[in-house]
Amino acid sequence: MEKLDYKKQFKELYMPSAKPSAVDVPEMIFFAVKGCGDPNTSAEYKGALELLYAMSFTVKMSKMNGSQPEGYFEYVVPPLEGLWYQEGIDGIDYSRKNDFKWISMIRQPEFVTEEVFENAKAAVQKKKPHLDTSKVQLMRWSEGLCIQLMHTGPYDEEPASIEKLRRFAEENGFEEDFSEGRYHHEIYLSDPRKCAPERLKTVIRHPVKIRKD
């Protein structure tokens, strides 16, 4: 059977154009780790990514030892995502990276239940005891109405794409809706270790609501 690739199956969520557009994002299941600090220098951020990938691939490869959960199907592990925010401001300020608070996450297939999550934690703790599995959460999250675009280029050049989103919101009857549970959202489609900075592809998504004029 062909593997389910969420990026290809749900192109409206993972492959938007460079022009801003609106999207209604449904509920999804994630493994998630919360933290704070500059992702370029933070050991906490590096550890969060290692933990998320360890958890995700433990579930994906469970078929190899016969421990796959009920309803298991072949799939490609979805891309890394990040929610970013800072206290006291809407959106984010790239000049204050040390103030970042983040939720790093990887989408999980629909068959991942609380039991599957706990079994994966136990397996990761046994195989990689240096990882603190108490930091990972199973999160069901419905993002709702958003605007988004594909940013191509270095992460530090994202403010130009964010300005495109803001103009699109103003011109199309939306207003940005940053609040508890609604954050600046990035989906990383490129591996920065293997991809030139000018070719990095990142989905940038902002929560919005209909503007009441």
58-106 residue pLDDT tens:
999 999 988 899 999 999 999 999 999 999 888 899 999 999 999 999 9
Which tokens hold the place of 156? 């530090």
How high is the pLDDT of residue 1?
64
Yes or no: say if 7 and 79 are a contact pair by the CB < 8 Å rule.
Answer: yes
The phi and psi torsions of 91 (rounded to 5 degrees) equal 75, -145
Per the structure, how many domains does the chain have? Answer: 1
* Alpha carbons 64 and 96: distance in angstroms, whole number: 44
Mean pLDDT for the chain overall: 95
Question: Which among 106, 11, 114 has a CA at the least distance from the CA of 53?
Answer: 106
CATH number of the CATH domain containing 79: 3.20.80.10
SS3 213: coil
- Say if 1 falls within a structural domain: no
SS3 11: helix
Q: How far is CA 112 from CA 22, 41, 68, 86, 201, in A?
A: 28, 32, 10, 31, 28
- Say if 199 falls within a structural domain: yes
How high is the pLDDT of residue 90?
87
- Say if 135 falls within a structural domain: yes
Predicted TM-score of the model (pTM): 0.95
Residue 39 DSSP code: T
- Burial code (b: 16+ CB inside 10 Å, e: under 16) for 164-186 equals bbbebbeeeebebbbeeebbbbb
The phi and psi torsions of 103 (rounded to 5 degrees) equal -125, 105
Task: Label residue 145 exposed, middle or buried (CB < 10 Å: 0-12, 13-18, 19+).
Answer: middle
Residue 19 DSSP code: S
Tens of pLDDT, residues 104-153: 999 999 999 999 999 999 999 999 999 999 999 999 999 999 999 999 99
The phi and psi torsions of 5 (rounded to 5 degrees) equal -110, 110
- Say if 4 falls within a structural domain: no
- Say if 101 falls within a structural domain: yes
How high is the pLDDT of residue 88?
87
Yes or no: say if 148 and 203 are a contact pair by the CB < 8 Å rule.
Answer: yes
Looking at the predicted structure, is the pLDDT value of residue 187 above 90? yes
Note down the domain range covering 206.
Answer: 12-210
Residue 79 DSSP code: P
How high is the pLDDT of residue 180?
83
- Say if 60 falls within a structural domain: yes
Yes or no: say if 10 and 81 are a contact pair by the CB < 8 Å rule.
Answer: no
- Say if 20 falls within a structural domain: yes
Per-residue pLDDT, averaged over 30-52, amounts to: 96
- Say if 2 falls within a structural domain: no
How high is the pLDDT of residue 96?
92
Looking at the predicted structure, is the pLDDT value of residue 213 above 90? no
* Percentage above 70 pLDDT, the chain: 100
Residue 181 pLDDT grade (very low, low, confident, very high; cuts 50, 70, 90): confident
How high is the pLDDT of residue 104?
98
